[in-house]
Amino acid sequence: MSDVLNVCEISKKFQNFGLNNVSFNIQENCITGFIGKNGAGKTTLIKTLLGLLKKDSGEIAFFSNKYQGNDSLIKNKIGVVLDDGFFYEHLTLNEMKNLIASCYSYWNEGKYQEYLKKFRLNPKQSISTLSKGMKLKYSLALALSHGADLLIMDEPTSGLDPKIRKELMDILSEFVQEEGKSAFFSTHITSDLERCADEIIIIDNGRIIEQAGKDDIIESYRLIKGTLDDLEKIREVPLKMLDQSRYGFTGITKEFQTIQSLNSNMVIEKATLEDIFLTIIGGE
């Protein structure tokens, strides 16, 4: 399985924030979730990948440099879905499509029409009348109609109801089943990542602090529940406290096997990705 994106030591400095030597890779046929707190650097990094911001240093290589020097072909191979869409609101869906299609050397009108039908979108409808969920579907229809192999999305599920979010996750899962297709999307909704992501990248304060398989991350941690007497017996074991009262405690740790050997009476459960994310970034 080859890489569709390699990012090496990317830096971008602003007055009060910056990306600091960011490195990661994205593989073929893989959904990669990009997670971080608000202001962690998700949108800045995505805009840098897309050339909307100029990096200060580092290297970005798409498709193992197979199309090196052919920026036009690389652009055709990348589908983009941004949170705010950047559409001309007064245009119809078809009018906006005509503008966007002209920017690509390849456009599959048949596939575009299939997506409009699948998403129940009226091509004569004005963009200004679309709901947020309908705008997302329209963005996807555009992004998937010009032969893209890599889909890059910035907070696509923000503000959407669970039904629309599930539909998107299903579309992504279907997309990456095709040979050579991959998806990379930023989000702060960890339940979406648990549903569909293969790989997780965590960013905090402009730095990548974790990249691993989703299942590997989830299997690495456990929730620990017990009484305060139980807590006293394991006080030497690294444990992040999630909740504590006079009735007991709940914590999260990687050292769950050690805890089990010290006190088999405690309840040990799988942790959610949200619990693990907050633990890794030091949140409460």
pLDDT one-digit tens code per residue, 140-179: 999 999 989 999 999 888 878 888 888 888 889 999 999 9
Q: Say if domain 3-218 classifies as CATH 3.40.50.300.
A: yes
Domain extent listing, the chain: 3-218, 221-281
The span from the CA of 113 to the CA of 190, in Å, is 32
Cβ-based neighbours of 110, under 8 Å, separated by 6 or more: none
Q: Is 103 left (phi over 0), alpha (psi -120 to 50) or beta?
A: alpha
The token duo for 109 is 């009108």
Q: Is 236 left (phi over 0), alpha (psi -120 to 50) or beta?
A: alpha
Sequential pLDDT tens for the chain (284 residues)? 688 999 999 999 998 899 999 999 999 999 999 999 888 999 999 999 999 999 999 999 998 877 777 778 888 899 999 876 679 999 999 999 999 999 898 999 999 999 999 999 999 999 999 988 889 899 999 999 998 999 999 988 887 888 888 888 888 999 999 999 999 999 888 988 998 999 999 999 999 999 999 999 999 999 999 999 999 889 889 999 999 999 999 999 999 999 988 877 899 999 999 999 989 887 54
Q: 227-230 contacts: CB < 8 A, separation 24 or more? A: 230/263, 230/265, 230/266
